[in-house]
Structure 1
Amino acid sequence: MRLSWPLIGRTGQMRSIESAIAAPDVAGVVVSGGAGVGKSRIAREALSTAEAQGFQGRWVVGASSARSIPLGAFAAWTGHDASETVQLVRGVIESLAATTSPARVVVAVDDAQLLDDLSIFVLHQLVQRSAAKLILTVRDDESVPAALQEISAAGRFERIAVAPLSLDETTALLTAALNGPVEHSCAHRIWQLTHGNPLYLRNIVEQEVADGRLAQHRDAWVWAGDPVLPPDLVGLVESRIGTLPGAVGDVIDLLAVAEPMELPVLARLADPAAIEEAETRGLISLEATGSNVHARVAHPIYGEVRRRRASVTRLRRLRGLVAAELARSDDADDVRVAVKRATLSIESDLPPDTDLLVRAAHGAVWLADLPLADRLAKAAVAAGAGPEPNFVRAHALSWLSRGTEADAVLTAMAAGDLTDVDRARLAFHRASNMLWVLGDPARAIEIVNQQSAVESAEAHTYLDAFRVVHRFATDDPQPAREAAHPLVLGDLPPVVGAEIAWALTVVSGEAGQATEAEARAEWGYRAATRRFDAPQMRFNIADAHLTALLLAGRIPDAGEVAHGVGSQAADLPGEAQLLAAAVAGRAALGAGDVELACRLLGQAALGLSAAGHGMGWGYRYNVVRVSALALLGEVDEAAEVLAALDTIARPFRSLDYEVSLARAWVAANQGAVSEAIAIASGAAERACAKGQFGAEALCLQTVTQFGDRTCADRLNELAALVEGPRVAAVARFAAALHDSDAPELTAVSQVFEGLGDLIAAADSVAHAALIYRRHGQRGSALNCSTRVAALVQRCGGLVTPAVQQASQRLPFTGREREIVMLVGQRLSNRAIAERLCLSPRTVESHIHRAMAKTGTKTRDELAALLR
């Protein structure tokens, strides 16, 4: 499959070249970078741009094969009748510089470092004579002839370094080339393999698409399996690596199977002189990290090629050598080192170490590498390690949304010889998998109830805890809270305690008890760090913690939670970064940054759904995404996502009030405001019936934003039930709207802005503008409309019924706007007249007309409209 590859991520370089070509005092541009980063593409695009602007373009290519031939690169411009060198050079210069119009000439030379001396002399003369502008590309890893370096002395040259594409730029390029969104982990894997090198990226992606491993799944491109490097790319990489002495090859191959590796470890396994030669050749890179230096293959593709060329027995031997050396190191039992040792050992010539494999499987869960945890646990089971690795396998498979496999592992364990506690533990894990992954709440509680005969108190803890979780999951929050009272969180196994803490954080937060929710969340965070099988729950706990803070109106605190999650997820693989993006997206929406929220939630929901979490995390964050899209004005897309959610049979946590608010925002921005009010009001009533008073307050806030004037009394009652500053602000908002008190609505807007809720701030002042307008107070209405516009801009775009109604362009002509701006600078009429070359009387007339149009009475009121 041939794909179209646009130029992405190079806007800055293209602008710099364009500016240099246009500048009369600049002779040209030198574009430098590593092999395959896109120097040639940039030069070609820059030449085409110059030609479109009227320049005459010349394209020249340096090549090793032409280097021994004088003027080899300029063969197309040499005359046939010239016999002497001077005549040849003069002819080439005249041919290059010749134009059929007054237009200047631009000569682009690709791989200029490969030019022969005479060709370089031609370039030198073009610069000295100002006969043409030059665009030169040079490779970072090749020596540049001194004569070429001297050209820059003949005229000023701009130097532009081209780096590989970043992850975001790679994702954007993939999205454009594949004509559709790319699942986050897919883009990340491609970027990790190619390091953003466009040449490698293009070769690999086209091969993977052609072979069907990179394919569209629903709405996103997903990459399954391991890449197969195209033969042309393999040949290209091997030519760059070159023929290696055996000792240098050992260095590369050791790193290919076990990078990154501390330099002292590598030096004990390989010849130090060979390590130095590998670094000198640019085949490995050394990176200082704290007090250590780590070695890596210079590019992941190099390692991929070496692994594919080596024999299986050689790779197994090398892995065994590294694993054995790591076992002798002082930090052999560090979790990351243990995971690396075990990972190397299962594909080495070493005998299995069951204790290491079990510890490493737990460690891989801790590091959020669940596929690796499954591999290590499976190897431990095969080596006869007992029931523990099966628990790890089931845990990993369940969190990977491979629920059927997880249930098969746990069902097989039930036939074994288990202790009372292990039977209860198994029931808890199997029921949790049945509930959250397989979506069968009835069967889940049945599994737990079948184990009621267990005798020990510790065993009953597992069963009682799941009953709490089950009530929470089936939308029965108050009974869940009551059932949790006998449980002592500190006595629960960490994986159980973390899940209970999540459930209780949600229940407390939605009830409006932010202090209690925070305490539950903090305990849950501690539980999630106490054992290897609980860390994934930290993201659920953070989401619940964030909900409690947003409902309370503690929006900056919610942002801190999101920041903390992002820091924790930064170095974790799998879905961790998607979950961090989702939490950050929710925080952004709560703060009114609608554009950022749409971007983050779209990335997260798409990636999580593609990874198999469509009923769980994908659904949860698509619900919030619907609201964000509607608020950004993307109502059609919001309606499409909402319709897709309606087709998903989700048998747990209906997210009733959140789904209802998303549905209400779609209806409102489709123009059905009365329907939106009815939807949000119904959600408020249902939240009240379940004791979800914090959620009820948010629903009534939304109803008020839509223009309903009936919520003040109930919000005053909620002020006594719900913690945090939001409910008091919303009560003031509702009362002011009921009384048509525009000044109070304006003051409430300031309160919401102080809380960090820019959306509510915009809506409250928008209602003030509408009231002023109805009363004929045009100046005050325009002041409020101006504030609305400023808040909308801070939101990155915002569409609500109130904002749309309040939006009104200021009725100034261009001259009037100019004068009003100067009035705002405290200039007198005479000073303005001098500034604009007008008479003072003309300035005074413009100001009088502007005041008449806007209903303002003073110069300060007039100037305030443009602040």
Structure 2
Amino acid sequence: MEGMTLVRDDSPSSAATGVWSLAGRSEELERIAASARGRAGPAGAVLIGPAGVGKTRVAREALRAAEQRGALVRWVAGTASARELPLGAFAATVKLTDLDPARLVPQATEALLAGAGPAGAVVVVDDAHQLDELSAVLVHQLVLRKAANVVLTLRTGETAPDAVTALWKDGHLLRLELEPLSPQETATLVETRLGGLVDDVAVRRLWSITRGNPLYLRQLVDDELASGRLRQVVGVWRWSGRFTLSPALVELVAPRIGKLPQNQRDVLDVLTFGGPLEVPLLAELTGARVMEEMEDKGLIEVCQQGRRWQVRLADPMLGEVQRMRTGALYARRLRRRIASALSARGGRRADDALRHAVLLLDSDVQPDAVLLTKAARRATELGDLALAARLARTAVYVGGGFESRLLLGTALGWTGRVAEAGSEWAALRTLAQTDVQQAQAAMARAKVLAWSGRPAEAEAELAAAAYATNDEAAALELAGVRSVLDAYLGRTVQAAETGAEVLAHPRCPSAAVPWVSWGLAMACGGLGRLDGIEKALRRIESEASGAGLHQLALVVMSSMRGLLLAGLPDQADRIARWFREQCPDSPGRRSVDIFTGFMSAESASFRGQVETAARGYRQAVAAHHGADPNGWIFTGLVGLTTALGMRGDPASARQALQAMTAEHHPTYVYLAPNVLIARAWVVAAEGEVSEAAALARKAAGVAASQGQSAVEVFALHTAVRFGDGTVADRLTRLATEVNGPRAQIAAAHAVALAADDGPGLQAVSVRLEQIGALLLAVDAAAQAAAAFFRHNRRGSAQTATARARRLAQACEGARTPALAALTAPPEITRRQREIIALAASGLSNGEIAQRLVVSIRTVENHLYRASTKLGVSNRAELAALIDEA
């Protein structure tokens, strides 16, 4: 992958060429514009919201739009200093010569509106809560007389003059509450600014810190861009590292803290260094009354987490400023105080132990090894491996034993620090006193060896441990891990048999359940056995509380794969939602976010949402660029290559294919058919549809050799999409062996294609649409249209064509060979179109002949016949005519 555009690690601002646009405010702007167009309703609007929410920006945009339609525009700004003077806000806008109080307002009105034409006048008053009483009267008169369209901005929580307040209370002005940006609006705004795809994790982090405040967001993004922490990797903008507040951000936020009394600052301190906290605990530390005062001011939020009510800062920026300003000694003492209160309340949940340990770790008290080990175990379960390593390392330092070392070695290994993990594995062998501990040490090493690309060594480690142990529970857990490795190495039947045997064992230990469920779900998904997937899911769901999110995610992902192969996307999405519900909002759950991103991409790929799928896969690749301990880059590139091929983007798909080949992972043998299918989509995008069909058939043969019958169906169905009518018999047989609707529909599709059966292909398209496989349904409908045309059924061909195009609208710009052929001149045969496409790409007749394994004369004849049919005189015109579609 080195040096390729797909994986370039760009400089911090190389692609940040965009500007800050106005996002999420179209409705407000339209309502303001509507109020200016009509004379019957309110003569303007008042924009109300907290500082930084974008009131001024919306008002400026409304003023700009008014100026473009020819209106006279006036901008007035209320300030604290001008509030001391009569008509002080308007002093910079109008010059008054008559200081008679009775004449001031009429004279100011006349001066303000001088020069207004047929389009009228628009007056914007920014920070109208700062107006003096006479200025407020002037604004009131403008509105009542409908002399101008008036737009006011007011800050939430500020007291405005009565004349201003009456304007919306009496219905003279629209009251528009500007809400903070949503996460999706935040993503749109940041991507426009940066000019490219932004990682979903970065968007969530930006939103969680700024809470959708556009002013904070703009400043934070620009600061992090300048620092290099926000940078583009593999075409994806990612944000890494701990951010530092710039002086500009501090200036924006600090005044709010300066206005707080000391008791409210105490609440701010406690939530900054220990939050979120349960209501009773915070009340014990700071007092209940002050909490109520802060909630009334909108400074804190109370939210329910399960059966508990927790308090957090409503504006996380306040906490960031306070953290920066607080001295280290006070912060360490405060953490110890919070930890002591938490311990005194006797928190029994694993998360309480984790919170307690983290607080003590950064306090002036040294936590004990037992607490640290318990916390490290919980951090591992939550997928926060960096925190788990830190806690486990400290536990080892203060005297922790075998489990502390085991957790440290696991965390280091899973985060790619295999060399560091090696010393921990060596220590584990010395510390292990029982067969169970010896097996645990072997499994920890084998897992990391396998997914860091050394499967043979992993197998040897597991075999040696299994031979040496006399403990039944240890032997069952070793077998569970072995079932996963077998599934990855393409020994599908063996993995399924081992997994079923271990899971059905009456004394199957709880530690083995996540591993054996993973192995069973993965193997049965490949085999096309839904009952095995159901057993694995049912067992892991019943023991989800004892399984870590990392392990739970792997079982769910494997189950999703099987359900999608079976043609059951709704069930796949359902278990993905269930998994997301199990995930707490943890700042360090990077691996969990990657899992959920993969789940979304896989579902989108099945449904034909090629852009969504490509986005998800690209983010997964970017997240591991430079350090990929578990094969995520390879897996992501397999999906990305396929999605780009289905999108009909040959250059990007070929580039992804080259990167995928460079990142080949020796443990991921079960993906060998998918690698060939990805290659098939690349060559199909390049115009070699016959070669694509051959690669899909080859993928089916590899899947069959591994016992992955459901994958074989997938591969053969891909060949059918490329126009291969030779695989109907095999698919018909597989339909009797593989569970789920996909196999039966694929067989019907192949039979109808082989028979050139337009109605049959149309019926298949309907069935594919019903199971949510929209791009597959597009291809079947396009093939139906071609069959109808060949049988001179023009009306039916038009109906099928319309259906294909309607379905394609939901497929985000996908361009498959069948869909491309739909728009080609009907006189052109499939082979002629293939040759024309290759000629259009710049290949000579000889190169085309070599690619397609035909003679040069055959190529020349096809080009001549196509030219004659279409009435063109050269290959350039021919290519243009085909491309026009």
Q: State the TM-score, normalizing by the size of structure 1.
A: 0.86
Whole-angstrom CA distance in 2 between matches of 1:747 and 1:405: 59
Paired residues of 1:355 and 1:385 also in contact (CA < 8 A): yes
Whole-angstrom CA distance in 2 between matches of 1:467 and 1:688: 22
Identity fraction in percent? 37
The correspondence for 2:382, drawn from 363, 367, 371, is 367
Amino acid at match of 1:45: E
Residue 107 (structure 1) aligns with: 123
Paired residues of 2:335 and 2:363 also in contact (CA < 8 A): yes
Question: Does 108-117 or 360-369 show the bigger shift?
Answer: 360-369
Amino acid at match of 2:383: A
How far does the alpha carbon of each residue in 1:759-810 deviate from its partner, in whole angstroms, 9 at most, with x for none? 3333223222211111211112112222222322344554322233335999
Matches within 5 A, 1:361-760: 361-416=376-431, 418-436=433-451, 438-448=452-462, 451=465, 454-458=468-472, 459-461=474-476, 463-481=478-496, 487=502, 490=505, 491=507, 493-526=509-542, 529-531=545-547, 534-569=548-583, 571=585, 573-603=589-619, 605-606=620-621, 608-610=623-625, 612-613=627-628, 616-654=631-669, 655-760=671-776
Question: What is the deviation of 1:513?
Answer: 2.4
Whole-angstrom CA distance in 2 between matches of 1:126 and 1:297: 41
Residue 309 (structure 1) aligns with: 325
Residue 841 (structure 2) aligns with: none
SS at match of 1:160: strand
Closer/same/farther in 2, CA of residues 611 and 234 from structure 1, 3 Å limit: farther
SS at match of 2:84: coil
Question: What is the deviation of 1:687?
Answer: 1.4
Matches within 5 A, 1:202-241: 202-241=218-257
Question: Does 791-800 or 305-314 show the bigger shift?
Answer: 791-800
Amino acid at match of 1:393: L
Question: What is the deviation of 1:343?
Answer: 1.5
Question: What is the deviation of 1:600?
Answer: 4.3
Residue 161 of structure 2 is aligned to residue 145 of structure 1: yes
How far does the alpha carbon of each residue in 1:617-671 deviate from its partner, in whole angstroms, 9 at most, with x for none? 3432332233333334444433333332222132221412222222222322332
Whole-angstrom CA distance in 1 between matches of 2:209 and 2:399: 35
SS at match of 1:232: helix
Whole-angstrom CA distance in 1 between matches of 2:745 and 2:486: 33
Whole-angstrom CA distance in 1 between matches of 2:417 and 2:84: 62
Residue 248 of structure 2 is aligned to residue 256 of structure 1: no
Paired residues of 1:109 and 1:135 also in contact (CA < 8 A): yes
Closer/same/farther in 2, CA of residues 443 and 692 from structure 1, 3 Å limit: same
Question: What is the deviation of 1:715?
Answer: 1.6
Closer/same/farther in 2, CA of residues 637 and 146 from structure 1, 3 Å limit: farther
The correspondence for 1:15, drawn from 8, 25, 30, is 30
How far does the alpha carbon of each residue in 1:317-344 deviate from its partner, in whole angstroms, 9 at most, with x for none? 22222212222225x1112222212221
Closer/same/farther in 2, CA of residues 355 and 745 from structure 1, 3 Å limit: same
Residue 139 (structure 2) aligns with: 123
Paired residues of 1:78 and 1:88 also in contact (CA < 8 A): no
Closer/same/farther in 2, CA of residues 256 and 755 from structure 1, 3 Å limit: closer
| Number of aligned positions between the proteins | 805
Question: What is the deviation of 1:758?
Answer: 2.7
Closer/same/farther in 2, CA of residues 225 and 597 from structure 1, 3 Å limit: closer
Question: What is the deviation of 1:100?
Answer: 6.0
**Comparing both chains, which one has the higher relative contact order based on Cα–Cα distances under 8 Å and sequence gaps of 6 or more?**
2
Whole-angstrom CA distance in 1 between matches of 2:511 and 2:68: 64
Question: What is the deviation of 1:697?
Answer: 1.4
Closer/same/farther in 2, CA of residues 184 and 267 from structure 1, 3 Å limit: same
The correspondence for 2:805, drawn from 789, 794, 817, is 789
How far does the alpha carbon of each residue in 1:517-546 deviate from its partner, in whole angstroms, 9 at most, with x for none? 332343345555434xx4312222222212
SS at match of 1:77: coil
Paired residues of 1:30 and 1:159 also in contact (CA < 8 A): yes
How far does the alpha carbon of each residue in 1:359-413 deviate from its partner, in whole angstroms, 9 at most, with x for none? 2222222333333322222232222121212222233333334444333432343
Whole-angstrom CA distance in 1 between matches of 2:394 and 2:504: 34
Residue 784 of structure 2 is aligned to residue 768 of structure 1: yes
Paired residues of 1:642 and 1:663 also in contact (CA < 8 A): yes
Residue 819 (structure 1) aligns with: none
Amino acid at match of 2:29: M
Whole-angstrom CA distance in 1 between matches of 2:717 and 2:395: 55
Amino acid at match of 2:429: A
Whole-angstrom CA distance in 2 between matches of 1:152 and 1:554: 53
Whole-angstrom CA distance in 2 between matches of 1:663 and 1:23: 60
Q: State the TM-score, normalizing by the size of structure 2.
A: 0.85
Closer/same/farther in 2, CA of residues 285 and 550 from structure 1, 3 Å limit: closer
SS at match of 1:267: helix
Whole-angstrom CA distance in 1 between matches of 2:816 and 2:629: 29
How far does the alpha carbon of each residue in 1:120-143 deviate from its partner, in whole angstroms, 9 at most, with x for none? 122122223322111111101211
Question: What is the deviation of 1:31?
Answer: 0.8
Question: What is the deviation of 1:74?
Answer: 1.1
SS at match of 2:546: coil
Whole-angstrom CA distance in 1 between matches of 2:266 and 2:580: 39
Question: What is the deviation of 1:197?
Answer: 1.4
- Which runs of 5 or more structure 2 residues have no equivalent in the other structure? 1-12, 827-885
Amino acid at match of 1:61: A
How far does the alpha carbon of each residue in 1:275-306 deviate from its partner, in whole angstroms, 9 at most, with x for none? 34444554333445676543223311111222
SS at match of 1:67: helix
Paired residues of 2:517 and 2:555 also in contact (CA < 8 A): yes
SS at match of 2:468: coil
Amino acid at match of 2:471: A
| Root-mean-square deviation over aligned CA pairs | 2.9
Whole-angstrom CA distance in 1 between matches of 2:719 and 2:306: 54
Closer/same/farther in 2, CA of residues 14 and 615 from structure 1, 3 Å limit: farther
Closer/same/farther in 2, CA of residues 264 and 113 from structure 1, 3 Å limit: same
Residue 314 of structure 2 is aligned to residue 275 of structure 1: no
Whole-angstrom CA distance in 2 between matches of 1:320 and 1:662: 55
Question: What is the deviation of 1:111?
Answer: 0.7
Closer/same/farther in 2, CA of residues 554 and 264 from structure 1, 3 Å limit: closer
Paired residues of 1:569 and 1:580 also in contact (CA < 8 A): no
Paired residues of 1:785 and 1:808 also in contact (CA < 8 A): no
- Which runs of 5 or more structure 1 residues have no equivalent in the other structure? 811-867
Residue 337 of structure 2 is aligned to residue 321 of structure 1: yes
Residue 110 (structure 2) aligns with: 94
Whole-angstrom CA distance in 2 between matches of 1:275 and 1:727: 60
Residue 823 (structure 1) aligns with: none
SS at match of 1:156: coil
Question: Does 190-199 or 288-297 show the bigger shift?
Answer: 288-297
Whole-angstrom CA distance in 2 between matches of 1:509 and 1:295: 43
Paired residues of 1:575 and 1:608 also in contact (CA < 8 A): no
Question: What is the deviation of 1:251?
Answer: 2.0
Paired residues of 2:136 and 2:161 also in contact (CA < 8 A): no
Matches within 5 A, 1:69-88: 69-79=85-95, 81-88=97-104
How far does the alpha carbon of each residue in 1:467-518 deviate from its partner, in whole angstroms, 9 at most, with x for none? 4444433334345456667645654554544233323322222122232233
How far does the alpha carbon of each residue in 1:53-112 deviate from its partner, in whole angstroms, 9 at most, with x for none? 222221111111211122222112332533323444333212221226433111111111
